[in-house]
Structure 1
Amino acid sequence: MHAWPELKREQRNASRRHLARLELMKRLRTYQDMSGKQVVVVFDGTHSQRSEEREPEGLQVIYAEAATTADMLLERLANRYAKLHPMQVVSADGMVRETILACGADWTSPEMLKTMCEDAERALGEAIRKRR
């Protein structure tokens, strides 16, 4: 969220931080729907335990426990699952990139993800226009 200017603005204001998360999730849902890829979103958490939500046919959202960062959780997930399933991890952190690549996952920059979401949104708009 910090890499996308429109989300970063919302992220700075504690009372509007949830709006940045909602907007990111909305855009990722469109990407998931248009690409057919399963999307898992990992956020930093504030509770003592990790929590997970899964929307029916939708996003999987994981909140790291308070003592763990989202980056640490991404590295753990890549270590556990990258050799079993194709996995693409998005992070602006260079150390996270190196770790997930070493685990066998693919890496994508937040800017590239934004482009992929924009492409999915355009494709959805085109599909809607064609149906009308």
Structure 2
Amino acid sequence: MPTPAYLFVDGHSVMHAWPELKRDQRHAGRRHLARLELMKRLRTYQDMSGKQVVVVFDGTHSKRTEEREPNGLQIIYAEAATTADAILERLASRYGRTHSVEVVSADGMVRETILASGAGWTSPEMLKSLCDDADRQVGKIIAKNKSR
């Protein structure tokens, strides 16, 4: 049985890098919309790539929380005393040498730590391109099924 492939994503880093998400991220009353759109795009990518996607957000609560959608995304909210960067670095260190792991972050220091741990690194812009490709693949599948 092949080892699973993972994509670990710094949620806030991506939301600040993608222009369509950044607009909503800037307004407190609309931040949840940016998060929902990001997770929708990542679900499509996960479905098309077969990778397990784990999204990590900086948190504000006293303890770390996790959500796992059935056959879907895993979402981690860091506790207030920890950053998403620290969680991503720990995940890469734990799984980077034994699994196929890619980490998405715009932070250069995180990139260096990730690469040193044996994991791969992807920019938020490259992730956007991968998500766009996944959306196009889904569109083609839908169009093909409609024409039957």
Deviation at 1:83, TM superposition (A): 1.6
Task: Extract unaligned runs of 5+ from structure 1.
Answer: none
- The equivalent position to 1:99 in structure 2, one of 113, 120, 136, is 113
- The question of 1:73 aligning with 2:87 is answered yes
Structure 1 counterpart of 2:16: 2
1:117 partner letter: C
TM-score, normalised relative to structure 2? 0.88
Structure 1 counterpart of 2:124: 110
Structure 1 counterpart of 2:59: 45
- The equivalent position to 1:15 in structure 2, one of 29, 49, 74, is 29
Task: Extract unaligned runs of 5+ from structure 2.
Answer: 1-14
1:65 partner letter: E
State the aligned residue count: 132
1:40 partner letter: V
| Secondary structure of 1:57 counterpart | coil
Deviation at 1:7, TM superposition (A): 0.5
Alignment partners' CA distance in 2, 1:38 and 1:60: 8
Alignment partners' CA distance in 2, 1:72 and 1:101: 14
Q: Percent identity?
A: 78
Higher relative contact order (CA 8 A, sep 6+): 2
Structure with the bigger percentage of strand: 2
Structure 1 counterpart of 2:43: 29
> 4+ residue runs of structure 1 moved beyond 3 angstroms?
none
- The CA RMSD measured in Å over matched residues stands at 0.6
TM-score, normalised relative to structure 1? 0.98
Deviation at 1:86, TM superposition (A): 1.1
| Secondary structure of 1:47 counterpart | coil
Alignment partners' CA distance in 2, 1:2 and 1:72: 18
| Secondary structure of 1:83 counterpart | coil
Deviations 1:89-110 (A, max 9, x none): 0000000000000000000000
| Secondary structure of 2:52 counterpart | coil
Alignment partners' CA distance in 2, 1:93 and 1:99: 10
